Structure 1
Amino acid sequence: MTEPTRIAAITGGATGIGGTTAQLLRDQGWIVHVLDRSVSGDDEFTHACDVTDAAALADIAYKIGPVDAVVTAAGVNLRPHDGPAQRLELDAWDTTLAVNLTGTMLTVRAFYPHIRDAGAIVTIGSTAGISAMPWADAYTATKGAVVALTRSWAVDYSRYGIRVNCICPGATETAMMDGILDEFDEKNRLNTPQQRFASRDEIAAVIAFAVSPAATYLSGAIIPVDGGATAHTAGLPFPNRRPRS
């Protein structure tokens, strides 16, 4: 008997990790619905959507109908407007929480009624949500909260066989990270045990596994894909001590 085609919905699915994941799943035979602010939404599988718009998300989820997987890849990192508490801009704080945290929750809330039993949700966290990123408080706070929500959902939704996991990329070569990676000199690159940054393909491969039938007993997992950085206590340089200005 032919296995039915699996259907996925991916927010932030036009570019970056989300876009690479969307293409990988298509290559594996999935039907993929992309939700993204940057698309025109002019075909049945592409939907113009802002993840902070609860009504729009709910409407799109209803139109798509039953899905086997949801990936919440929409996100922002607003450095240099983000930063430590004493310097970050409140607008950056509000926007980061709205997109990364509330947007993740609204996405799951919208699609939850349409996820088939034994389906999968993958949230996109960050190693910033596992260990300290001392120069981006808003980003760190949202990713830590996504980690906590993932665990909560994994328990709650288990009654329907829905699995929920969080993939936490380390430094990855994406447009979002371009300006940040430029700040890392070669010495800091080498503080990552694999001595390089991740490619989008490497992150997408783990996401694709997490939503696949090969991972049917994987749930509630917080999975760093970071070349060993979170296993290495000196993965990021400590700030130099200096007097308060």
Structure 2
Amino acid sequence: MLAAKVALVTGGASGIGRATALRMAGEGARVLIADRDGAGAERTAGAIVQAGGAARGIAADVTDEAAVAAMVRAAVESFGRLDCAFNNAGVAPAEAQPLAEIAPEEWARVLGVNLTGVFLCMKHEIAAMTTGGAIVNTASIAGRIALPKAGAYVAAKHGVIGLTKVAALDHAKDGIRVNAICPGYVETPLASRGIERRREAILARVPLGRIGTVEEIAEMVVWLCSDRAGFVTGEAIAVDGGHTAN
């Protein structure tokens, strides 16, 4: 589905980002993998190269505009252009807290990565997509519903969906499609601690009766980046086992 395309994945050292980078490469894309964990990004790229694909891993902080600009330049310089991007870098709240107890520093940290980071990435990716392209942003079920004691995270993920819709409208004329995915509970390093504490309660809310896999999320991202989704833009698609259908 992505033969000969150039893709950029943030948060690609582990979890959904790593699975998506591997899947994109398996579909023929050349992939630039970025993560604050530069060594982890390089390991993902190494796995792709070992399997016969083309990839490069770099360290990048999506809250730093200069680093984001350099990341996008690296993709273009490495592979000649940029066709699709998966803005997946994210952080979880440090702890579950009622809204009135969230420290301003924690609010800024969560929104800085999860929302401002998406804005900065899209700003520079769109400028590099001179012949059109596709962008997918990682939102969450927390972008579609409220989760108690997660005010900063919920605000950030609702914001990602809003940014996605605005970008889709603003840049449709440029041939750029912009969509978001809204994963439910998925077995990732970011989510594992919370899942283990509340597994039975979570499963009771999921009609399909199980936790999702990173590979299932990756399949949706790859499809949205491909030409098969050529008439899909401005959407926030749940991949959550029916959680938000309740």
TM-score exceeds 0.5: yes
Rounded to whole Å, the distance in 1 between the matches of 2:210 and 2:159 is: 27
Q: Which residue of 1 aligns with 2:216?
A: 202
Give yes or no for contact 1:193–1:227 (8 Å, CA) kept in 2: yes
Stretches of structure 2 that go unaligned for 5 or more consecutive residues are 46-54
Q: Secondary structure at the match of 2:86?
A: strand
- Mapping of residues 128-207 of structure 1, within 5 Å: 128-207=142-221
Alpha-carbon RMSD across the aligned residues, in angstroms, is 1.7
**TM-score normalized by the length of structure 2:** 0.88
Q: Note the alpha carbon deviations across 1:112-134, whole angstroms, 9 max, x for none.
A: 11114331000000010101111
Rounded to whole Å, the distance in 1 between the matches of 2:22 and 2:133 is: 20
Q: Match for 2:228: what amino acid? A: A
Q: Secondary structure at the match of 2:221?
A: helix
Q: Which residue of 2 aligns with 1:89?
A: 103
Give yes or no for contact 1:79–1:136 (8 Å, CA) kept in 2: no
Rounded to whole Å, the distance in 2 between the matches of 1:120 and 1:52 is: 22
Q: Note the alpha carbon deviations across 1:145-188, whole angstroms, 9 max, x for none.
A: 00000000000010111000000001111110112112214244
Q: Does 1:124 align with 2:138?
A: yes
Q: Which residue of 2 aligns with 1:239?
A: none
- Structure 1 segments (4+ residues) deviating >6 Å: 41-44
* Shift of residue 4, structure 1, vs aligned partner: 6.4
Q: Which residue of 1 aligns with 2:51?
A: none
Rounded to whole Å, the distance in 1 between the matches of 2:201 and 2:144 is: 22
Structure 1 residue corresponding to 2:85, chosen from 70, 76, 87: 70
CA 1:5/1:231 → structure 2, altered by over 3 Å: closer, same or farther? same
How many equivalent residue pairs? 229
Rounded to whole Å, the distance in 1 between the matches of 2:130 and 2:233 is: 16
Q: Note the alpha carbon deviations across 1:86-116, whole angstroms, 9 max, x for none.
A: 2223322110011001111011112211114
Q: Which residue of 2 aligns with 1:48?
A: 59
Q: Which residue of 2 aligns with 1:7?
A: 6
Q: Match for 1:16: what amino acid? A: G
Q: Note the alpha carbon deviations across 1:30-89, whole angstroms, 9 max, x for none.
A: 000001111147787111110011011112212322211011000001241x52212223
Moved more, 26-35 or 41-50: 41-50
CA 1:35/1:188 → structure 2, altered by over 3 Å: closer, same or farther? closer
Q: Does 1:216 align with 2:230?
A: yes
Rounded to whole Å, the distance in 1 between the matches of 2:83 and 2:212 is: 27
Q: Which residue of 2 aligns with 1:26?
A: 25
Q: Match for 1:171: what amino acid? A: Y
